[in-house]
Amino acid sequence: MLTTEQLMTAHKVNVETLFGLTSKAFEGMEQLVALNLQVAKAGMAEAADHTRAALSVKDAQELMALQASLLQPAAEKAAAYSRHLYDIASGTSAEVNKIAEGKMAEAQKGFMAVVDSAVKNAPAGSENAVALVKSAVAAANNALEGVHKAAKQAQDVAEANFQAINTSAVKASQAATAKARR
């Protein structure tokens, strides 16, 4: 049976965990806002430079060359922005998952302690029920591990796909720029 003190301690730990997770989420949002401000500031400066360059163009051929020269850097910047965005999201997610995994491990240990205590105090003849409970706990732990591994594999595949898409987008823009210059 849980005492009032144990319940209060558990609540305090849960509140601290909530604040820790909230703090990590805000850190991720701060990074995202900083990235977007940096991109907006750089975009404004580039727009001014591009406008000045476009206004100084003397003929259509020079305008086409200017447009071609802007295509590749724009694609590379979009790919870099996507990578930064992914890194922020991935880093924040990893930190939140780390905290959640730690709390899950603590909860499992606590639950196992309760089960072990119940087993020690179980009346004679309840060995089958005890074995059933232990088996169910082991199956649940195995299922949780399987889900965790599958989620990690899915994250790895998504990251590899993201990198491949970014790489091919940059290569396609380089090819289009080279073609436009000819």
pLDDT digits (tens, 9 = 90+) for 11-51: 888 888 888 888 988 999 999 999 999 999 999 999 999 99
C-beta of residue 46 within 8 angstroms of C-beta of residue 158 = no
Query: Own/partner pairs for 67-76, CB < 8 Å, 24+ apart?
Result: 67/180, 68/177, 68/180, 68/181, 69/177, 71/173, 71/176, 71/177, 71/180, 72/173, 72/174, 72/176, 72/177, 74/173, 75/169, 75/170, 75/172, 75/173, 75/174, 76/170, 76/173
pLDDT digits (tens, 9 = 90+) for 64-122: 888 888 877 888 888 889 889 888 988 888 888 888 778 777 777 777 777 677 667 77
Domain assignments of the chain as residue spans, ordered by start? 4-181
> What is the enclosing helix (H) or strand (E) of 55?
helix 4-55
